[in-house]
Structure 1
Amino acid sequence: MMRIGLKGVPIVVSAPSGAGKTTICKLIAEKYDNVLYSVSATTRPPRDSETDGIDYFFLSRKKFERWIREGRFVEWAKVHGHYYGTPRELFEENLRKGYNVIMDIDVQGGSDIKKMYPEGIYIFLLTKNVNVLRERLSGRKTDSPSSIKKRLENARVELGYSNRYNYIVINDKLMKEGIKFAYETPQDEVSSE
Structure 2
Amino acid sequence: MNPASTIHFASPDQGEELARAELYGLLARLWLAPPDDELLAQFRVAVTQAPFEGGHLEAPWQDLVAAMRATDTAGAAAEYDALFGGVGKPEVFLYGSFYLTGFLNEKPLATLRGDLAALGLARDDTRAETEDHMAYGLEVMRYLIAGDDPAVCTLEQQRRFFRSHLQPWVERLCDAVAAHPAAATWRTVADFTRAFMQVETQAFDLLD
Would you say same fold, with TM above 0.5? no
More helix as a share of residues: 2
More strand as a share of residues: 1
Larger RCO (CA under 8 A, 6+ residues apart):
1
Q: TM-score scaled by structure 1?
A: 0.31
